[in-house]
Structure 1
Amino acid sequence: MNSTKALNVLKDHGYKHTKQRKKLLDLFDQYDAYVSVKDLFEVFRLDFPGASYDTVYRNLYTLAEIGILETTTLDGEKHFRFHCDTHGHHHHFICTSCGKTSPINLCPVEDVVSTLPGHQIENHKFEVYGKCPSCV
């Protein structure tokens, strides 16, 4: 995902193209990692000093709800990044120091399905946390 594609997704879901949403999307173009709301807000308010934390928070959740952003929780705080749509179905290793991700090209859900006969799995999420080579 990138900001141009994200703006098209917003339009397809009936959302307006605003300067604030464009700025948030441009910020995600700059990061190749999960970023906290607090960190995004610090940079965002340089261009929009009157904007509230809640405005940024609400916009991020909207972007996540329509599939533009992915979320994870690191140290009890929600972090966001552009939805990863370049590798097909996969999961991520997430660095707990810098937030960068690496794809994991296997899915353990097949093993889980075999241990739950009669169950219907509707969705799943698998993430591995630790330190990337740059942060070790």
Structure 2
Amino acid sequence: MNTTKALHILKDNGYKHTKQRKKLLHLLQLYDQYLSVKQIWTDFQEDFPGASYDTVYRNLYTLSELGIIESTQLNGEKHFRFHCDTHGHHHHFICTDCGKTSPIDICPMDDVRGMLPEHQIENHTFEVYGKCPRCH
């Protein structure tokens, strides 16, 4: 995913192209890793000092609902990054120090479905946390 594609998705879903949304998308593309709302908000305030934390948070959730970005829980806090659309369905290893991610191209859901034959699974998450080689 990139900023241009994201802006097209926003427009196709009736959202206006604003400087604030463009800045959020730019930050997500720039870092290319999971970022906390606080990290994003801190950088966002450099260009928009009057912006509230809630405004950034709401926009991130809108981007998430549209499939532009994905989220995860890290240390009890929501983190966001651009949606990976180059690997198909996959999961991530997430470095707990620097936030960099590495794709995991397997999914445990086939095994889980076999263990729960009469259950209807609606969604799932699977992430592995630890230290990347650079931080280890």
Q: TM-score range by the shorter chain?
A: over 0.9
Q: Secondary structure at the match of 1:9?
A: helix
Q: Secondary structure at the match of 2:106?
A: coil
C-alpha deviation, 1:31, in angstroms:
0.8
Normalised TM-score (structure 1)? 0.97
C-alpha deviation, 1:118, in angstroms:
1.2
C-alpha deviation, 1:103, in angstroms:
0.5
1:27-86 CA distance string (max 9 Å, x none): 111012100111111111110111111111111111111111100111111110000110
Kindly provide the amino acid, as one letter, of the partner of residue 74 in structure 1.
L
Structure 1 residue aligned with 2:56? 56
User: What is the aligned-residue identity percentage?
Assistant: 74
- Give the whole-Å Cα distance in 2 for the aligned partners of 1:41 and 1:101: 21
Structure 1 residue aligned with 2:6? 6
Aligned residues: 136
1:83-98 map, 5 Å: 83-98=83-98
Kindly provide the amino acid, as one letter, of the partner of residue 36 in structure 1.
S
- Give the whole-Å Cα distance in 1 for the aligned partners of 2:76 and 2:121: 26
Q: Secondary structure at the match of 2:81?
A: strand
- In structure 2, stretches of 5+ residues that fail to align are none
1:79-112 CA distance string (max 9 Å, x none): 1000011001111111111111101011110000
C-alpha deviation, 1:122, in angstroms:
2.1
Runs of 4+ in 1 over 6 A off after TM superposition: none
Normalised TM-score (structure 2)? 0.97
- Give the whole-Å Cα distance in 1 for the aligned partners of 2:37 and 2:122: 29
Q: Secondary structure at the match of 1:129?
A: strand
1:102-113 map, 5 Å: 102-113=102-113
- Give the whole-Å Cα distance in 1 for the aligned partners of 2:106 and 2:44: 36
TM-align CA RMSD: 0.8
- Give the whole-Å Cα distance in 1 for the aligned partners of 2:107 and 2:28: 26
1:33-72 map, 5 Å: 33-72=33-72
Kindly provide the amino acid, as one letter, of the partner of residue 134 in structure 1.
R
- In structure 1, stretches of 5+ residues that fail to align are none
- Higher mean C-alpha displacement, 120-129 vs 54-63: 120-129
Structure 2 residue aligned with 1:15? 15
